[in-house]
């Protein structure tokens, strides 16, 4: 079985390389234009490598995680970074367990995670576990809010988390850069990260390796208010990522990534369980290849391919249950972009094939997505007005759907821009929702509807040292045939007739800066009202009620201070009530946490030393994110980072 798995991976990897070899031969005589990043605010272009999202989303809200935050959370998971710094609800089932995204009241399967433009969501589950994704694996992290199905594919209803790697170093003065990072913390947590960057004239190589372990034996209080120590919560994990950029001439770019992850997790008991001996093993293999060419000064073509294998083994020896969920994805996309004066046109053809063999099912189940998509952008009034029209005709197995979208941005003043976005949304049931045994529902209808959002961005310099940034957006989304899992001993997905989500978000910051002093104050807020409007069940008590695990209120505040080589930041988060049932009869109390980070950084010639201290849940609050799943109290970690 293991040999068959290896042969399959090698065969598909060889096929990808072969396809791109012929693609590269076919366009070998064509010309390319050097990439230019346009930073003028009024033009409203993003600095992304993805052709779809860089130019054709001027009216969509995008939040970028800056380099200082990336460095602060470099030894932590994405779930920690997003829950503390982004207006989003992270649904965490507790230590060592699943953590998923909830943007604007969407379900975890309605938000996509894209890695270098490739969908990363598990093909069976339809979601991505961000608790096992480390911040240090990526150079750029962005969040694209709202529906963007026309550009990123059906299934993207709430938002898209964009994870990108670097394929060319920003520092060309050094040929080789080595970084070693160590972390030790509470509950016997240990982590080591090694990164090697090699920069040659035509070749860039980045190799990252990470290993971690933890006992996670923190203390908590059970339902009788008795102190207990968490058991069956050990974690071991390791991962490696290779990124390679090859530039045979100034007109050609070739990118290659290979990423492997393995995690062994013990799953601790919930508060309603006396004990647990559950275990879960996760293994992922991800291969990515991209080629970019420019035919002339206005025309560019690209091609990207990816193969993803995800395997999850779950064991509960108490009830003698063992499952092995293995899924595969193959992704291919070819695109053509033309830019003439004020106009840009993009045509691309994405293909996404997913397959799995569910437990107790004699057949291999497929979900095939084939699409023809296009985007047009107009820039006028001295680049102050930008309008993008997007459309996608997608066939999912035997069903065909057309997904249009329109977004626009207008700079009223150099410091003030207005934005708007309207998109049609569509999400087909996942392989598990259709075929999982027992519990799958082959009669499920796809989710469909429309989403709209409007907002503005304000950036005001208050003198030479102080800058005020304010971003506000309001959104509205109506989804019919929303899919929700519920039941007794066997959970089954069902369609509830219609869910209406609406609300607003704001991102605010003051930055005061002198040569050796910088002060940052930030506040992110979110209000989400996501209610069931119609139901197929007569007399259903969920009408007009908030859907489960969508908090109405959520905010994060930050106070940062940079004095010379010392940086300190205090973060405070608040998450409101989460209803556990559809009729709001049961809920979890709001919670808030304080988090403190302090670092000291010093340079020695070409070497850099950084020592950091992190304290999460500083005030030692007792809280639950998911019902009866206790979270850790105060915990600390110390990090050491050496670059040479």
Whole-number Cα distances in Å, 218 to 182, 232, 466, 629: 21, 11, 43, 13
| Closest by CA position to 423, among listed 460, 470, 389 | 389
Query: Mean pLDDT throughout 428-452?
Result: 91
Tell me which of 6 and 397 has the higher pLDDT.
397
DSSP structural state of residue 85: H
**Better pLDDT: 198 or 44:** 198
pLDDT at site 2 = 40
What is the C-alpha separation between 9 and 536, in angstroms, rounded?
44
The yes-or-no verdict on residue 19 having pLDDT over 50 is no
- For residue 54, the domain's CATH number is 2.40.170.20
| Residues making up the chain, counted from first to last | 644
Q: How far is CA 422 from the centre of its chain?
A: 22
Residue 228, classified by CB atoms within 10 Å of its CB into exposed (0-12), middle (13-18) or buried (19+), is middle
Write the CA distances from 102 to 87, 301, 615, integer angstroms: 10, 34, 25
- Label residue 312 by pLDDT band (50, 70, 90): very high
Residue 6 has pLDDT above 90, yes or no: no
- Residue 532 pLDDT > 70, yes or no? yes
Q: CA-CA distance, 253 to 261, in Å (whole number)?
A: 27
Q: Tokens standing for 622?
A: 């007792």
Q: CA torsion, points 184, 185, 188, 193, in degrees to nearest 10?
A: -30
Q: Is residue 438 reached through a cis peptide bond, with omega within 30 degrees of 0 on the bond before it?
A: yes
Q: What is the DSSP string of 453-509?
A: EEEEEEEEEETTTEEEEEEEEEEEEEEEEEEEEEESSSEEEEEEEEEEEEEEEEEEE
Mean pLDDT, all residues of the chain: 90
Q: What's the domain range around 75? A: 2-643
pLDDT at 132: 95
The label of the residue with tokens 């007569």 reads 538
Distances from the Cα of 62 to the Cα of 13, 54, 419, 501, 637, angstroms: 33, 11, 11, 19, 31
pLDDT band at 45 (very low <50, low <70, confident <90, very high): low
Average pLDDT over residues 222-226: 90
At 49, the pLDDT band (50, 70, 90 cuts) reads confident
Per-residue tokens: 385: 């007005």
257 has pLDDT over 90 = yes
276-304, pLDDT tens digit by residue?
A: 999 999 999 999 999 999 999 999 999 99
pLDDT at 606: 81
Q: Considering only CA atoms, which of 351, 483, 391, 377 is closest in space to residue 428?
A: 483
pLDDT at 16 over 80: no
pLDDT band at 327 (very low <50, low <70, confident <90, very high): very high
Kindly indicate the confidence band of residue 18, based on its pLDDT and cuts at 50, 70 and 90: very low
pTM for the structure as a whole: 0.90
Confidence label for 394 from pLDDT (cuts 50, 70 and 90): very high
Tokens of 374: 């296009």
- Indicate if the pLDDT at residue 514 is higher than 50: yes
DSSP H or E stretch at residue 527: strand 517-534
Given this model, what pLDDT does residue 487 score? 74
Spell out the residues 6+ positions from residue 170 whose beta carbon is closer than 8 angstroms to its own: none
> How many domains, the chain?
1
Residue 31 pLDDT greater than 60, yes or no:
no
**Taking 70 as the threshold, does the pLDDT of residue 240 lie above it?**
yes
Position 41 scores a pLDDT of 38
Q: Report the pLDDT value the prediction gives residue 505, as an integer from 0 to 100.
A: 96
What DSSP element (H or E) covers 76? none
Cα dihedral: 535, 537, 543, 547 (round 10): -80
DSSP string for residues in 48-99 = -S-HHHHHS-TTS-EEE--HHHHHHTTTSBHHHHHHHHSSSEEEE-STTS-E
Distance CA 283, CA 415 (A): 47
Q: Residue 84: which H helix or E strand, with range?
A: helix 78-85
């Amino acid at each position: 079985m293991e040999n068959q798995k290896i042969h399959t991976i090698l065969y598909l990897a060889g096929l990808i390389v072969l396809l791109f070899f012929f693609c590269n031969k076919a366009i070998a005589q064509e010309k390319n234009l050097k990439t230019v990043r346009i930073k003028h605010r009024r033009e409203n272009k993003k600095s992304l490598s993805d052709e779809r999202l860089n130019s054709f989303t001027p009216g969509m809200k995008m939040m970028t995680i800056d380099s200082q935050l990336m460095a602060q959370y470099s030894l932590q998971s994405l779930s920690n970074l997003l829950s503390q710094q982004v207006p989003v609800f992270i649904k965490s089932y507790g230590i060592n367990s699943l953590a998923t995204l909830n943007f604007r009241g969407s379900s975890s399967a309605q938000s996509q995670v894209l890695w270098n433009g490739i969908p990363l969501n598990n093909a069976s589950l339809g979601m991505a576990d961000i608790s096992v994704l480390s911040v240090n694996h990526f150079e750029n992290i962005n969040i694209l809010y709202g529906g963007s199905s026309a550009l990123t594919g059906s299934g993207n209803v709430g938002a898209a988390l964009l994870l990108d790697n670097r394929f060319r170093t920003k520092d060309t003065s050094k040929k080789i850069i080595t970084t070693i990072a160590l972390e030790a913390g509470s509950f016997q947590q240990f982590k080591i990260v090694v990164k090697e960057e090699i920069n040659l004239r035509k070749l860039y190589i980045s190799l990252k390796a990470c290993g971690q372990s933890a006992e996670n034996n923190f203390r908590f209080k059970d339902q009788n208010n008795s102190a207990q120590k968490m058991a069956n919560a050990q974690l071991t994990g390791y991962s490696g990522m290779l990124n390679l950029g090859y530039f045979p001439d100034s007109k050609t770019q070739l990118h290659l990534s290979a990423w492997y992850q393995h995690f062994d997790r013990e799953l601790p008991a919930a508060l309603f369980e006396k004990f647990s001996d559950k275990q879960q093993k996760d293994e992922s293999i991800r291969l990515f290849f991209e080629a970019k060419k420019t035919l002339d000064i206005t025309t560019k073509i690209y091609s990207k391919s990816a193969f993803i294998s995800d395997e999850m083994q779950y064991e509960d020896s108490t009830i003698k249950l063992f499952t092995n969920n293995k899924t595969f994805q193959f992704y291919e996309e070819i695109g053509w972009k033309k830019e003439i004066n004020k106009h840009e046109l993009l045509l691309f053809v994405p293909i996404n094939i997913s397959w799995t063999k569910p437990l107790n099912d004699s057949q291999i189940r497929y979900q095939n997505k084939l699409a023809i998509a296009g985007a047009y952008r107009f820039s006028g009034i001295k680049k102050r007005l930008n309008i993008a029209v997007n459309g996608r005709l997608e066939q999912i197995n035997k069903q065909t759907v057309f997904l249009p979208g329109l977004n626009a941005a207008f700079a009223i003043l150099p410091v003030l821009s207005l934005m708007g976005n309207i998109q049609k949304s569509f999400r087909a049931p996942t392989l598990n929702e259709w075929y999982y045994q027992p519990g799958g529902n082959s009669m499920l209808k796809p989710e469909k509807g429309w989403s709209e959002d409007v907002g503005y961005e304000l950036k005001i310099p208050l003198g030479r040292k102080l800058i005020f940034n304010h971003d506000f957006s309001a959104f509205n989304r109506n989804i019919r045939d929303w899919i929700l899992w519920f039941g007794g001993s066997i959970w089954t997905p069902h369609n509830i007739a219609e869910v209406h989500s609406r609300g607003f978000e704001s991102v605010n910051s003051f930055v005061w800066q002198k040569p050796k002093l910088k002060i940052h104050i930030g506040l992110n807020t979110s209000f989400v009202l996501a209610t069931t409007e119609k139901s197929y069940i007569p007399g259903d008590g969920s009408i007009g009620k908030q859907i489960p695990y969508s908090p109405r209120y959520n905010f994060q505040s930050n106070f940062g201070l940079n004095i010379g080589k010392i940086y300190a930041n205090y973060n405070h988060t608040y998450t409101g009530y989460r209803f556990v049932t559809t009729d709001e009869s049961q809920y979890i109390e709001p919670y808030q946490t304080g988090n403190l980070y302090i670092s000291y950084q010093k340079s020695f010639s070409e070497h850099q030393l950084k020592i950091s201290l992190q304290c999460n849940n500083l005030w030692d609050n007792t809280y639950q994110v998911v019902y009866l799943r206790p979270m850790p109290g105060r915990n600390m970690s110390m990090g050491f980072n050496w670059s040479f």
